[in-house]
Structure 1
């Protein structure tokens, strides 16, 4: 990195003092809850649209491939987060492995994912509110505004309060998923999985009604079962013992998500039919109603709990975007005023600014599917860079002290890297418009870095100090 005016800001008794998070607010159980909360809305809606892309067989293969990708990546992230425990997470890992440009690119890809995903979820929350007839509201901007105001406001109160409330809301959603499992098992019929008529394309069959191309189309929806679990390491600076808690938390979260994802994928279309579920905006309660021949208390309970699942993901991803923006801003990659923290040690501007952008996107587009596809593109780009970071860091710094070591080493994250590259391509296949928009935003951010922020990096930020220490140690060894 070239010398810059900001390199002298090691810590001038004021800069980092006003950019402090609350230490020790979360143990591994809260971290596991946070990981599940990020993702759990994907079990309630969204994944089922992959049935229309590839049929049940295509979505099953997509689920397995993306489950392998996330599983391998999570093992890599468990190692990286125990080794470099900072709020920058993905940016910090890539900064150490790939340099400042790689760090910024990774951080921005993650930030795009986390800033846009809540906007999509706000639209889905509005849909649930309208479907349930709550308060006579429609799926429109007042719902989005209230949703953002309430949950950004709770985060402003403090991280401990926010994480505990996230955990509680997530517990309600998990109970609902258990209820779905119990309610649908007696009505499962394997024939229902294959009731989509083959379209006659090459290799099409009852198992793959859209043929091989259907698998590619379903990959994005396979991602929805796990999207955002990689955000757990963003809580590193607020964790009691990150070297132990981070690996336990993120691996436990992934294990829970695999189990629930598999159960929903098998039981929901297995009870109600893949054809009926392929177009549903509310698949779990609709499956229960179809299975039982009408409305039931269980279906109504799952309907309300589905709203809790959406809220859990919305609430937790707000936490994620604020920590990623905080870290990038604290290090000077984004405007430094965005990383200021208040008396409760919450990054209030990093909570409010992306929240305002997200609300504007939701109100302006009203298109949840478009926004989710934008978020997925940002996510898949970050996955390529995160897995590459693990591989490079293992090769460059084999003797680096690690709190946890990935089983299989770089072979594990190499599998995830290949699958992440396939997922990037799949996002263009499914929605070229959304992928192009995201690529343009990403390109504009890289131009901002090249012409401005790389000359104003704060050397005293934790992620930068990790990288500078590594460079100094390398010089001493030579």
Structure 2
């Protein structure tokens, strides 16, 4: 049975994957944060979360270059804290990467519905799964080149959006009712800011997925740091630009609960029949596709790595002999995502739209993974001081501690404001842990992987 992945990627591919994984967050999802925090309150949330991600990426890159493993966070948690640490890091990452694609697929359906009102967005979402699972199975090099192209197009389209709406931009529009629906800041505003955290994180969610392509990267110890640092700077600039220009286009409250805020913001400036609007809808799909396609790459590598190490059924560790891709892992994540798309009654909670709750579930997984990764970095510095580290986290230990403290605070705030989704999240972790405890024989039979340290 083939269990190895083929290294084919360079730094430019990794940058494309890193930005592409995240860039759909500029096209939709984030505007739900305006509903609870207002534009100014949400700006505070985004600034704090951006700080967390900058500190996290500069710290996480140390782990990625020292342990270039397809399991990414799973490998770091396992090496630092043994099998239990590996399980929780791996499962948290899996929840993040499996629940993000159905939200993006629904947004793809919403964008297509703007052009074709008779098209069912859910059927379009399923069609997106079929197309991009197939592309991922056909080969990593093909998939990465496609990701690079659509990412560049998506960035260009965001710049076009900012340029087209800029003549009608008004700072007064952006600040009106900007404090959780009020023109003045009050103690109640803090609640709205805390409740908006999942949607601030959506601007950056999944950038860490590049770590799961490390086994398929040429010279990862040099290429990964370059890709990560350039990617996080690109994403911070795009997030601030998109949010500010959209909020200044008109009454931002009309955009706060939509899956397609950018086309709707542009309508406020150019009208319903402008060619610019139709161009944004079509090219805007590239941003959604870039993230959708990239996150499928991410979840498939995480499933593959967990299965290869005996943490999931070994059958999902099989690699297609022709294309050298984890085809069964690709299909498994797709089945879960498509089921989520059609599970309205199970996932719509507290009156929030389906997409908002899927995003919240994905963010819970991301934050738990960030916390475990930063603890792993701190511990490995103590327990394995001789581990080769081609990239060292700058200002250590300040950088990882900043990321850790903000991530813990964000996780607790989300648990407080999203209790039901949090309970479901814990339930998934609990069921997975029961499987983990019952299947130690799979880990005993797994092939030895020296990069993982103790297993």
- What aligned pairs does 1:353-432 form with structure 2 within 5 A after superposition? 353-365=332-344, 367-432=354-419
State the secondary structure of the residue aligned to 1:18. Answer: coil
TM-score, normalising length: structure 2: 0.93
**2:146 alignment partner in structure 1:** 165
**2:110 alignment partner in structure 1:** 127
Indicate whether 1:466 and 2:427 are aligned.
no
**2:78 alignment partner in structure 1:** 95
In structure 1, distance between residues paired with 2:187 and 2:173: 14
Question: What's the CA shift for 1:279?
Answer: 3.1
Q: Is the 8 A contact 1:208 1:214 kept in 2?
A: no
Q: 72-81 or 186-195, which moves further after superposition?
A: 186-195
In structure 2, distance between residues paired with 1:381 and 1:402: 24
**2:120 alignment partner in structure 1:** 138
Q: Is the 8 A contact 1:330 1:461 kept in 2?
A: no
In structure 1, distance between residues paired with 2:407 and 2:178: 30
In structure 2, distance between residues paired with 1:168 and 1:457: 42
State the secondary structure of the residue aligned to 1:47. Answer: coil
In structure 2, distance between residues paired with 1:74 and 1:321: 19
**1:150 alignment partner in structure 2:** 131
Residue by residue over 1:445-469, the C-alpha shift from the partner in whole angstroms, topping out at 9 and shown as x without a partner, is 112112323763456343x54314x
Question: What's the CA shift for 1:363?
Answer: 2.2
Relative to structure 1, is the Cα distance of residues 268 and 465 closer, same or farther in structure 2, using a 3 angstrom cutoff? closer
Relative to structure 1, is the Cα distance of residues 130 and 409 closer, same or farther in structure 2, using a 3 angstrom cutoff? same
- What aligned pairs does 1:295-334 form with structure 2 within 5 A after superposition? 295-334=273-312
Question: What's the CA shift for 1:188?
Answer: 2.1
Residue by residue over 1:106-156, the C-alpha shift from the partner in whole angstroms, topping out at 9 and shown as x without a partner, is 01100011111112222222222222107x42123x323322111111111
Q: Is the 8 A contact 2:31 2:257 kept in 1?
A: yes
In structure 1, distance between residues paired with 2:76 and 2:374: 10
In structure 1, distance between residues paired with 2:127 and 2:81: 40
Relative to structure 1, is the Cα distance of residues 288 and 437 closer, same or farther in structure 2, using a 3 angstrom cutoff? same
TM-score, normalising length: structure 1: 0.89
Relative to structure 1, is the Cα distance of residues 461 and 251 closer, same or farther in structure 2, using a 3 angstrom cutoff? farther
Indicate whether 1:20 and 2:1 are aligned.
no
Residue by residue over 1:51-94, the C-alpha shift from the partner in whole angstroms, topping out at 9 and shown as x without a partner, is 11111121111101111111111111111111001101111111
**2:351 alignment partner in structure 1:** none
Question: What's the CA shift for 1:298?
Answer: 1.6
In structure 2, distance between residues paired with 1:122 and 1:418: 32
Larger radius of gyration: 1
Relative to structure 1, is the Cα distance of residues 47 and 105 closer, same or farther in structure 2, using a 3 angstrom cutoff? same
Residue by residue over 1:281-302, the C-alpha shift from the partner in whole angstroms, topping out at 9 and shown as x without a partner, is 3221221221235542222211
Q: Is the 8 A contact 1:119 1:358 kept in 2?
A: yes
Q: Is the 8 A contact 1:390 1:410 kept in 2?
A: no
C-alpha RMSD of matched pairs (Å): 2.0
- What aligned pairs does 1:192-203 form with structure 2 within 5 A after superposition? 192-196=173-177
- What aligned pairs does 1:281-300 form with structure 2 within 5 A after superposition? 281-300=259-278
Indicate whether 1:174 and 2:155 are aligned.
yes
Q: Is the 8 A contact 1:205 1:211 kept in 2?
A: no
In structure 1, distance between residues paired with 2:156 and 2:81: 42
Corresponding pairs, count: 446
Indicate whether 1:250 and 2:219 are aligned.
no
Question: What's the CA shift for 1:249?
Answer: 1.1
In structure 1, distance between residues paired with 2:144 and 2:178: 45
Residue by residue over 1:320-345, the C-alpha shift from the partner in whole angstroms, topping out at 9 and shown as x without a partner, is 00000100111111111110011211
In structure 1, distance between residues paired with 2:441 and 2:90: 14
Q: Is the 8 A contact 1:196 1:274 kept in 2?
A: no
Q: Is the 8 A contact 2:176 2:183 kept in 1?
A: no
Q: Is the 8 A contact 1:108 1:442 kept in 2?
A: yes
Residue by residue over 1:362-397, the C-alpha shift from the partner in whole angstroms, topping out at 9 and shown as x without a partner, is 123382222221111111111111111111111222
Among 68, 72, 77, which residue is 2:51 paired with? 68
Relative to structure 1, is the Cα distance of residues 32 and 99 closer, same or farther in structure 2, using a 3 angstrom cutoff? same
In structure 1, distance between residues paired with 2:373 and 2:441: 21
In structure 1, distance between residues paired with 2:152 and 2:16: 8
**Uncovered stretches (5+) of structure 2, i.e. residues with no partner:** 346-353
Q: Is the 8 A contact 2:198 2:359 kept in 1?
A: no
State the secondary structure of the residue aligned to 1:281. Answer: coil
Question: What's the CA shift for 1:400?
Answer: 1.8
Q: Is the 8 A contact 1:57 1:207 kept in 2?
A: no
In structure 2, distance between residues paired with 1:316 and 1:197: 34
Relative to structure 1, is the Cα distance of residues 284 and 144 closer, same or farther in structure 2, using a 3 angstrom cutoff? closer
Indicate whether 1:349 and 2:332 are aligned.
no
